[in-house]
Structure 1
């Protein structure tokens, strides 16, 4: 078991403040996503899958069922059940891969996309507005920090 860390220097106190802020941000994200779970009658894994699809769609990337399984860290059998459930409820479609016709991709339906933006639209607008006062250099540092933090948190 790791021993509890107590900051000793002003720099370590600042590090602790940042980690507390990350925890508070994570808690706020969880509360925001919990609201969507209730509104759309989904479990946490369903919402996580939809978030992944929205993010990848915004980057112009397609998503295979295997990538959903890897992202959610669930088995292929669990992924099949999840995709079946989300397809049946009208949240996504399975389509042929645009290049490899033997493969399939998973795509959000217009209805699901609209529900996502209806639920998160005002919050996303608020988040964009909150970032506007920061300089481009500050935003690059924040982006790098969050990216690196995500990588550390995703390590097995």
Structure 2
């Protein structure tokens, strides 16, 4: 089972590289977009840097790049006027969804071949594995 999960993670890395090429960004930018798109409230530059395991100065440069190419924007933090939050733009949402459309279609086709019981078990398993992966990542984040 663990080897199949490892294979899935490797394939995910390859898909992320493909997404980066399709969007015309580097791999770190693609990972940053993934984090921003997955965060409804956006992320602070420092938090984004921690998630990507890069230093604060590099995170600032990254946000500058994403802002310059229209994939992100800085907005005031909702509760602290001294801080900024970085959010994905509508352009980023559109471009990423367009680029990932064929991937999502393929996953849906694979899921359609499962029985409802198999699909429910698979979803439960994948969510548990995701929680394990997130826990592992949290334990090994670089302190700022």
Whether TM exceeds 0.5 here: the answer is yes
Moved more, 35-44 or 141-150: 141-150
Question: Where has structure 1 moved over 4 Å in runs of 4 or more?
Answer: none
TM-score of the superposition, structure 1-length normalised? Answer: 0.77
Structure with more relative contact order (C-alpha pairs < 8 Å, separation 6 or more): 2
TM-score of the superposition, structure 2-length normalised? Answer: 0.82
C-alpha distance in 1 between matches for 2:111 and 2:134: 19
Structure 1: 5+ residue runs without aligned partners? Answer: 1-17
Structure number with larger C-alpha Rg:
1
Shift of 1:129: 4.7
Residue aligning to 2:50: 70
Paired residues, number? 136
C-alpha distance in 1 between matches for 2:84 and 2:53: 19
C-alpha distance in 2 between matches for 1:137 and 1:26: 19
Let me know the Cα RMSD of the aligned residues.
1.9
Structure 2: 5+ residue runs without aligned partners? Answer: none
Shift of the 153–80 alpha-carbon distance from structure 1 to 2, 3 Å rule, reads closer
1:136 and 2:120 are equivalent in the alignment: yes
Residue aligning to 1:14: none
Residue aligning to 1:108: 88
Residue aligning to 1:146: 130
Shift of the 129–79 alpha-carbon distance from structure 1 to 2, 3 Å rule, reads same
1:32 and 2:12 are equivalent in the alignment: no
Shift of the 139–39 alpha-carbon distance from structure 1 to 2, 3 Å rule, reads closer
